[in-house]
Amino acid sequence: MSRILAIAWKDLRSTMRNVPALVMMLVAPLALAALLGFAFGGGQSFSITATKVAVANADTGAFGVGAVGNYGAVVVGVMKSPDLKDIITVSDKPSAAAARKAVDDGKAAAAVVIPADFSGVMSGASSVAPTTAIEVYENPTQQIGGAITESIVGQALLGFNGARAAAVAASGLATANGDGDRAGELAQQAAAKYIQGGGAAAGVSVAQRAPRLPGGASTKDVGVSGTILAGMMVFFMFFGANNVARTILDEERAGTLPRLFTTPTPRRTILGGKFSSVFVTVIVQAVILLVGGRFIFSIDWGRLDAVAALTLVAAAVASGLALLLISLVRTPAQAGGIGAGVYLVLALLGGNFTGAAAAGGAYATIQKLTPNGWLLQGWDAVMRGGGLADIVLNLVVPLLFAVVFFAVAVLRFRKRFA
């Protein structure tokens, strides 16, 4: 064990003296996170695609007496208006749970849930509560889509305040004239006539509700810098591991590694020291970036145990992948070129350049084919208040990738240096 540590310490000192490598490992991700954070935070001119909204209309009421349709259907109809097709795309869901699940799965930016008593309250027929609320359930990573949905729902409700006022007035007048038996009927008729005639201003609240993590922890907002730096940190951990692992090729070409193999020290000990140096270097790199992000950008990374677990697994993935690539090439130039290409493809597929943000649709599936994609989703959950219970898969799946990478690399090195 002491020999493994001695070899690892020698490689670590060599890395710390490599200024260009340190700049790539530490300065570059912090600088990119700052630049991209400022760009996204201050950008004013950009276009957006139509916001996907899931709607669950549970309203059981109806217009007037014996009429077909309800006030919830009016709200849905406004949202499905052809004039808004370039802004929102509405999909009907059978229940509130199904609508919220569409948001949780990344298939919609927001869900609109219309309560069962909506028509009753608006028409004055319901005596249970004087107010009601339409729930807008939003994906916190798609704030623009949520804001658009809130605005449209609010506009759709503009006619209901006057409708309720008309219903209450009609009911009160009927009661005052001694016709209490027909008060409810008259109230519904008055409200329906008011809505069909155009309406006025809304008196119905829009209750914003952020989704919860799988483990039940409530979410919190994550700044752009935190989102971007999480992606940049994982991306540059790959490059950091590659820079250290390339010392194996440098020593092989210089002849020092073959000479080291002639000593009484077992080859597995020598390679173990090399592997350890890569792993420890990447952990140090991640810790520095985490601390830098905390004090420079005021990023709240989340619970310490979850952050530590993600950091260790990310270091294992980066180290295993770097050693695998080094075992497949012969020169430092090949390691640099091929490694950069592999890391770039993984970053594009895994979402490193968009940061630790929840993805939807086909891209969410592609993201889960990469270890860094799982890691980024884990970082997103932890920064939003999740704990270890919320990121079990985000730890186990990348760890399996790392084990496979290490196993193949060991087999390749054994064959190469047999």
Q: Residues 196-247: pLDDT tens digits?
A: 444 433 334 445 555 555 444 445 556 667 777 888 888 888 988 888 788 7
Kindly state whether residues 6 and 89 are assigned to the same domain. no
**Residue 407 CB contacts under 8 Å (≥ 6 apart), including other chains:** none
Q: How far is it, in rounded angstroms, from Cα 125 to Cα 316?
A: 63
Both 166 and 245 in a single domain? no
Examine the fold and report which residue of 159, 178, 209 is the final residue of a domain before the chain moves on.
209
Q: Is the CB of residue 286 less than 8 Å from the CB of residue 369?
A: no
- Cβ atoms 217, 390 nearer than 8 A: yes
Query: Strand 51-57 to strand 110-114: parallel, antiparallel, or no bridges (unpaired)?
Result: parallel
Share of the chain above pLDDT 90, in %: 13
Of 56, 82, 223, which is closest to residue 137 (Cα–Cα)? 56
Look at residue 154 and tell me if it is in a domain.
yes
The verdict on 184 and 37 lying in the same domain is no
User: Could you tell me if 237 and 139 lie in one domain?
Assistant: no
Structural domain including 196 reads 51-209
| Tens of each residue's pLDDT in the chain, 418 residues | 666 666 666 666 666 666 666 666 667 666 766 665 555 544 333 445 788 899 999 887 765 444 445 778 878 887 888 877 778 889 999 998 999 999 888 888 889 998 888 777 665 555 444 556 788 888 877 777 778 888 878 776 665 554 555 455 544 544 555 554 544 554 455 445 444 444 433 334 445 555 555 444 445 556 667 777 888 888 888 988 888 788 788 777 877 777 777 777 777 777 777 788 888 888 988 888 888 888 887 888 889 999 999 999 999 999 989 888 988 888 888 888 888 889 989 988 888 876 555 555 677 778 889 999 999 989 988 988 888 988 999 999 999 999 999 888 888 887 877 6
Where is the domain boundary, 146, 174, 209?
209
CATH classification at residue 105: 3.40.1710
Mapped to the 3 state alphabet, what secondary structure does the chain carry?
CHHHHHHHHHHHHHHHCCHHHHHHHHHHHHHHHHHHHHHHHHCCCCCCCCEEEEEEECCCCCCCCCCCCCHHHHHHHHHCCHHHCCCEEEEECCCHHHHHHHHHCCCCCEEEEECCCHHHHHHCCCCCCCCCEEEEEECCCCHHHHHHHHHHHHHHCCCHHHHHHHHHHHHHHHHHCCCHHHHHHHHHHHHHHHHHCCCCCCCCEEEEECCECCCCCECCCCCHHHHHHHHHHHHHHHHHHHHHHHHHHHHHHHCHHHHHHCCCCCHHHHHHHHHHHHHHHHHHHHHHHHHHHHHHCCCCCCCHHHHHHHHHHHHHHHHHHHHHHHHHCCCHHHHHHHHHHHHHHHHHHHCCCCCCCCCCHHHHHHHCCCHHHHHHHHHHHHHCCCCHHHCHHHHHHHHHHHHHHHHHHHHHHHHHCC
Instruction: Tokens for 199, please give them.
Output: 């309406």
User: CA 418, CA 416: separation in Å to the nearest integer?
Assistant: 6
Does residue 141 share a domain with residue 278?
no
In a domain, 378, yes or no: yes
pTM for the structure as a whole: 0.58
Contact 6, 12 (CB under 8 A): no
The rounded distance, in Å, linking the Cα atoms of 165 and 47 is 40
214 assigned to some structural domain = no
Q: Largest Cα–Cα distance of the chain, in whole Å?
A: 109
Residue 99 lies in a domain: yes
Give the span between the Cα atoms of 162 and 340, in whole angstroms: 63
- Does residue 253 sit in the same domain as residue 319? yes
Q: 350, 372 in Cβ contact below 8 A?
A: yes
In this structure, the answer to whether residues 95 and 197 fall within a common structural domain is yes
Residue 392 and residue 258 share a domain:
yes
Whether 215 is covered by a domain: the verdict is no
d(CA 282, CA 238): 8
Of 209, 243, 269, which marks where a domain is finished? 209
For 377-415, what is each residue's pLDDT tens digit? Answer: 899 889 888 889 889 999 999 999 999 998 888 888 878
Q: Which two structure tokens, joined as six digits, stand for 115?
A: 């309560």
Residues 237 and 369 reside in one and the same domain: yes
In a domain, 197, yes or no: yes
Question: Do the domain assignments include residue 216?
Answer: no
Total tally of structural domains belonging to the chain: 2
**Cα 303 → chain centroid:** 17
Torsion sign (Cα): 408, 409, 411, 415:
positive
Q: Are residues 19 and 77 in the same domain?
A: no
Residue whose C-alpha is closest to residue 53's, from 122, 109, 120: 109
The encoded tokens of residue 380 equal: 């997103």
Same-domain pairing of 228 and 352? yes
How crowded is residue 360: how many other Cβ atoms within 10 Å of its Cβ? 18
Does residue 60 sit in the same domain as residue 90? Answer: yes
Give the span between the Cα atoms of 96 and 310, in whole angstroms. 33
